[in-house]
Structures are given as C-alpha cells and as structure tokens.
Amino acid sequence: MKQNKTALSKIISIGTAVPAFRHKQDDILHFMQHIYAMNEADKRKLKFLYHQSSIEYRHSVIPDYSRNIPEWKFYPHSENLEPFPSLEQRMTWYNKYAAPLSVDAIRECLGNKINHKEITHLITVSCTGMSAPGLDLQVMELMDLPKHIFRTSVNFMGCYAAIHAMKLADAICNSEKNAKVLIVATELCTLHFQKEATPDNIASSLLFADGAAAAVITSNEYLAEGINFKNFYSEVLPQGKKDMAWELSSTGFLMTLSGYVPNLIEEDFEVLTQHALQKNGLQKNNITDWCIHPGGKKILEAIHKSLRLTNGELNESYEILRQYGNMSSATILFVLKKIFDKAGHQKKKTIFGAAFGPGLTMETLVATIRF
C-alpha cells in the first residue's frame, strides 16, 4: 500500500460555543405536537420518535421552543404561527446572532495558544444563513483581525462542510509554511423550522440544533502538540442524491432527509473507509478513535453495523448527539474536540473522521494526535 507523506499541517486548538437557550428534547416535543396540530395517535408516534432519538438537549438562538405562547420572541403569538416567519426574518436573526456565536467559539479556541493578530487566513463555514457582506466580514470586524487577511467561505455544503474547510486549510498550510488558518463553522439550524408535518420537516425538527466551532490550523512546524492531518478522502453516492438535500424557500431553508440515508451509509461506509485508509497504508485496526458526525441515532447505528464495531468506539459521537443534537457542520468539530481533550498525554492516537451531507457526499479525514 502507498504510504502517505509526512503531515504538513495540524489543528493546534478547537473551541466550541452554543446559544444561551438550552431546550430539553421533551419541551421541543411538546412545541411540535402543538404546532403540528396532531391527533392523539400521531402525538404518541411523535413522542416515540423523540424518545428514541438519543437526544436530551438542544440549543437555539430562539427561546420559543420551551416557552408559552405569550413569551415567544420569534414566532407570532398565534395558534397557527401566522403570519409565518419569512426568509427575510430568519436571515435577520441569522445576521444578528451568527457572528457573536462565532466569536465565542473563536475566543475559546484562541485562548492562550495564539494571538488573534497572528491569524493569516479566515474560513467561515455555514449552510443556515448567507448575506453580503457576510459572516466572514462580521467576524473579522468583531475579532479585530488584520484588514489584509485572506478570507473565504464554505457555504451550503451541509454537515460535511467543516472537513472540506479543514482540507482547504491543509492545502493553504502546505503552500505557506507561516500560515495560521482560522476555521469557524456556525449553524443556526433552528431558524428554519417548517410547520407542515411532512416526514422531512418532522425529521429536521427532531434532530437539528444551533452551535459554532472554531479551529486553528498551522504548519506542522508550529508548536509541539496537536491533531496532525495525514490525509483527506471523499466520495459521492449518486444513488442518494435525492435523499439528502437543502434548498431555499420563501419561508426558510427546506431539508430533505430520507429514511433511506442510513441504509445507504450502512451499505457503503465500510468500502469508503477502506479506500480512505489505503491512502495511508492503514487498516481498520490501526484506528484508535472514530470521529463520526452524529447525524442521528440511525446513522450512527448504520456505521456501527457497517464497520462491525463492538467496544463503544462511537461513544464520543453519541455523547455529542445526546447533549447538543445535530448542529450540521459544527458538530464534527465538537466530536473531534472531545476526542482531543480525552486523549490527555497518552501514546500516539490515530483518528478516522467522517461526515455526510447533500449529494449524498461522504467526507473523511485521517489524523494523528501527538504530544
């Protein structure tokens, strides 16, 4: 097998942040049962789905999901939510809250590791809001980053976008040894709730949450410890093209999330993993930590079956799902931070990471933790 070149870039720090409003999954369930105007049989079915989700809490910039109607701040004080929030209203909230949440994650990330004035490149990641001037310029201004900083944005790629951003950062660091690249993935998924009780809308309202995560990536010459990238690999499963999608509408962004997605992942994930590992001359038993995007309980179960895992290898992914739900692109960095923090100063660890999104696209990374 072909051996991969020595890693030339690494993550030296990860920071995360969530909005102030922490909702219990049961409180969100009650909100949805009320808004969907379900009969008792359908309410019981929805309750079963929520209790099987493995999610206990989700955060949102919107307080309404666990409050009584008179206390709502985003939705109109009416039984049918009319006039239903427009795309313009949702983007107004995004522009108000996305940048401050991004900065919270960035400040935790930078800490005492690196001065903000040293950042040479900024990559913003989001699929839940867009404008121009956009999130990148807002972050640059709030963080007082250099005015000449290199900026770019990864937009509308969904849950795998943070890995794509890491791949871009790695390429930058490989070409500029003094580069210090700041990535921030910020998603306000809960702004896009849709009130029609379709299977796609129910799945979205069951899973998605708000959060932000930031990472600093440098050349491998900078500092001693970090998460060293070894390789990236991606594949598209065309047969899943219509099963996961994300589109704009006049009332927000519309998610398509077919129940067939876990089946597709279960069928193809082991082969994808083999392809990615072969690029590094590795085998499955060389992986000490599995950093899998917790797109939902069924997706994690599908990967568990596909790889025939037996010993709690996806515990970190399940824990992030339990505490936060699916925060789209930010979620994989939450899982990676948990693995990094847990590592302590143990012997060398080898990480396999993967996330999934529209296409159906599967993005992966292989990295090592060294101290």
Domain ranges, ordered by start, for the chain? 14-219, 225-370
Mean pLDDT of all residues in 250-268 = 78
Angle between helices 40-51 and 199-207 (to 10 degrees): 40
Instruction: Give the rounded percent of residues in the chain with a pLDDT score beyond 90.
Output: 72
Residue 260's pLDDT is: 61
Tell me: the pLDDT tens digits for 85-115? 999 999 999 999 999 999 999 999 999 889 9
Residue with tokens 């935790």: 108
Q: Rounded mean pLDDT of 347-361?
A: 87
| Residue 317: per-residue pLDDT | 98
* Confidence band of 258 (pLDDT split at 50, 70, 90): low
Per-residue confidence (pLDDT) for residue 243, from 0 to 100: 64
225-370, what's its fold?
Peroxisomal Thiolase; Chain A, domain 1 (3.40.47)
Strand partners, 15: 214
CATH topology of domain 14-219: Peroxisomal Thiolase; Chain A, domain 1 (3.40.47)
CB neighbour list of residue 72: distance below 8 Å, 6 or more residues apart: 63, 64
Task: Round to whole Å and give the CA distance between 330 and 340.
Answer: 16
Question: How large is the average pLDDT for residues 61-90?
Answer: 93
- β-strand pairing of 361-370 with 226-236: antiparallel
Least confident of 50-54, 128-132, 186-190, 260-264: 260-264
φ, ψ at 130 (rounded to 5°): -145, 145
- SS3 of residue 187 by DSSP: strand
The Cα angle at residue 212 between residues 123 and 101, in degrees rounded to 5: 95
For residue 246, pLDDT beyond 90 = no
10 Å CB burial of residue 233 (0-12, 13-18, 19+) is: buried
The whole-chain average pLDDT of the chain stands at 91
3-state DSSP assignment of residue 39 = coil
pLDDT tens, 12-49? 999 999 999 999 999 999 999 988 988 999 999 999 99
The model's pLDDT over 157-209, given as tens digits with 9 standing for 90+, comes to: 989 999 999 999 999 999 998 999 999 999 999 999 999 998 888 999 999 99
pLDDT in the model for residue 72:
95
